[in-house]
């Protein structure tokens, strides 16, 4: 029995040659060989074991934000977590969340629970799992400030739990082993006044909408902010604000965002990225590191 015949036996949520443009906020990306929605830990272990047996690569997909997929698509299996990975439960000021919980859903549920400390995440796209892996956040706060413990599955299928201080968190990064899959996270917050929390969340979202290109397809911030500076300011200084290549353009609203103007290819976006990085290094001596992840068949190591 070949790999495709075996994987369709796991559940009825398997698709072949699925366009990744349907599943990324950029609306860019060629087909994944296999796309499967996973609803339980047992299914996840089965998929990973099957892929390991057949030497097939696995990519875990969160909300499809912070991601640029190659025009040539993705080799192997793209796994979308759902089902039990979308559960949320509470124990006083502790919140237990599955990796597939959308950050904005969690933000608004925490308002209802009158729990404060998570407001800074308001307006940031993505899921809990993706946010933990990249230590998502804002200038002075990150997920690592509020997460207490994280459960993940190793490539071998073993479940492990680590405390926040053991997770190797840094600026927009973590130290989980290669191939680790976040399954749940526990956050520790504080009780607050619902009205105050709600007001703060609305203020943060309004500010983001004013400053960022919410209505255009994009993948969030393209580059990490260099120490003591802002990538957007640097890109604007270099004269790239509003510059286009093919169907991709640097946002007129915020220069650290590249937007899909309707028919952008991944190559269009990559061309802009490389131009900006080269210019920043040659003219300012600044190395702009990617915040987004670039994945797919014809991708050299760019992350």
Mind telling me the catalytic residues?
A: 172, 221, 291
**Tokens 């029995």 — which residue?**
1
Rounded to whole angstroms, how far apart are CA atoms 163 and 107? 22
Distances (CA, A) of 182 to 25, 46, 70, 265: 21, 16, 24, 30
Q: Radius of gyration over alpha carbons of the chain, in Å?
A: 20
For residue 157, how many other CB atoms are within 10 A of its CB?
15
DSSP annotation string for 232-250: HHHHHHTT-TT-EETTEEE
Spatial CB neighbours of 26, under 8 Å, sequence gap ≥ 6: 64, 67, 68, 69, 217, 218, 219, 260, 264, 269
DSSP state of 176: P
Cβ–Cβ under 8 Å, residues 27 and 260: yes
**DSSP string spanning 35-59?**
EEEE-SHHHHHHHHHHHHHTT--EE
Query: How many angstroms separate the first and last alpha carbons of the chain?
Result: 36
């Amino acid at each position: 029995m070949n790999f495709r015949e075996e994987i369709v036996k796991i559940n009825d949520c398997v698709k072949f040659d699925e366009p990744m443009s349907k599943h990324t906020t950029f609306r860019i990306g060629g087909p994944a060989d296999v796309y499967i929605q996973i609803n339980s830990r047992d299914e996840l272990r089965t998929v990973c074991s099957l892929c390991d047996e057949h030497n097939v690569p696995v990519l875990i997909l969160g909300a499809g934000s912070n991601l640029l997929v190659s025009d040539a698509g993705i080799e192997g299996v793209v796994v979308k977590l759902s089902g039990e990975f979308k559960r949320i439960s509470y124990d006083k000021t502790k919140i237990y969340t599955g990796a597939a919980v959308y950050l904005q859903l969690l933000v608004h549920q925490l308002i209802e629970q009158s729990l404060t400390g998570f407001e800074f995440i308001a307006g940031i796209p993505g899921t809990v799992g993706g946010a933990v892996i990249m230590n998502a956040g804002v200038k002075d706060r990150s997920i690592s400030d509020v997460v207490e413990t994280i459960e993940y599955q190793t490539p071998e299928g073993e479940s492990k739990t680590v405390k926040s201080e053991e997770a190797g968190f840094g600026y927009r990064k973590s130290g989980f082993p290669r191939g680790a899959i976040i399954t749940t996270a526990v956050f520790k917050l504080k009780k607050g006044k619902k009205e105050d929390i709600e007001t703060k969340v609305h203020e943060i979202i309004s500010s983001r909408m004013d400053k960022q290109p919410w209505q255009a397809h994009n993948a969030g911030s393209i580059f990490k902010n260099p120490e003591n500076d802002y990538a957007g300011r640097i890109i604007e200084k270099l004269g790239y604000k509003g510059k286009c290549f093919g169907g991709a353009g640097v946002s007129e609203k915020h220069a650290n965002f590249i937007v899909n103007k309707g028919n952008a290819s991944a190559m269009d976006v990559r061309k802009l990225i490389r131009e900006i990085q080269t210019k920043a290094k040659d003219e300012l001596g600044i190395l702009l590191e990617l915040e987004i992840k670039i994945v797919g068949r014809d991708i050299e190591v760019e992350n």
